[in-house]
Amino acid sequence: MPDPIAVVDRNAIVRVANPVAEESIGLKSGTCLHDFMRAAGADGCKVSGFLHLCLASTESLPTRFELTQGAPTVVYGSRLVLPGSTSDGLVLLRFDQRLEITSKFASLNDKLAAMTDKARHNHIQKNQLKDMVITDVLTGALNRRGFEQLLIREHKRARRYGRPLSLAVLDLDFFKAINDKHGHAVGDRVIRHFAELCGASLREQDSIARIGGEEFAVIMPETGLAAGEAVTERIVEATKSNVLSIDNIRLCYTVSAGVSELHAAEAIDDLVQRADANLYVAKDHGRARCISDNSRIN
């Protein structure tokens, strides 16, 4: 019986498959080879590496795939150039479940294994770098970039599905005086302490961001104004009742906050500006308090 044969392009899409490929292993034209092989238990990174090597070689290269469905399979791949064709990046694949891979090609498997490990490592590094770009080093909260990215996503979701979204902007009271009196190292401890208090007061769906020196923001999806104000009030009250001990220093500090809820068809800038305006009202009326759209003092 002939072997299953298929032609795939550089994007791993099957252009042509012979009848044996369709009948015996279910590989059809238009199928994504990555999806097909992963469904059969193959390593997706290894599949990508194998196609890359085939495109770079003029020889027929075999490798063995350990599949959870069916017997171990040796796949032979070679770059395909059709006379008179303008298509580039085609690979001819032959699937053989009867043969064991010979020692002649053992180095190819080793090379593929190394490429697979490198791909995984690069993926992990990419995610770590992405986290570093949007994370505040001092507190571990989102930084301003992370805050803006998340707020854009939540704003789109709230607008699309008609769901509530509330935003709180918080600013530590008299923070400059703390820095001037005790130094920036103590000021940093205060900022970290406040971020921890926020984390303990927030719900699972809420996100805290440090958007300035002593300024923070809390994004509250699926949250109306009353609930958003209640969450923010917890933070304000927790700050009032906590004492931070640093060496021989016992510090008490407070925070002021403004809360707003997204209005229908409202832009992000308007939501942020209303929260900021409410924060300034809180500052102007004694600090250590939370002011929302409903409780704003005129």
Which DSSP helix (H) or strand (E) runs through 251?
strand 249-251
Q: What is the rounded distance in angstroms from the CA atom of residue 115 to the CA atom of residue 291?
A: 56
Provide the 3-class DSSP secondary structure of residue 162.
coil
Catalytic residue among 23, 148, 214, 237: 214
- The alpha carbon torsion through 269, 237, 221, 167 (nearest 10 deg) reads 0
Closest CA to 95 of 74, 80, 78, 115: 74
Kind of pairing between the strands at 290-292 and 255-261: parallel
φ, ψ of residue 68 to 5 degrees: the values are: -80, -20
Q: Could you tell me which residues come within 8 angstroms of residue 158 by beta carbon, excluding any fewer than 6 positions away?
A: 164, 165, 221, 262
Type of residue found at 249: I
* CA dist., res. 28 & res. 100, Å (int): 25
- Catalytic residue at 214? yes
CA distance 44 to 211: 39
Q: How far apart are CA 256 and CA 235, in angstroms?
A: 10
Distance CA 97, CA 126 (A): 36
Tokens of 52: 């890359």
Residues forming the active site = 214
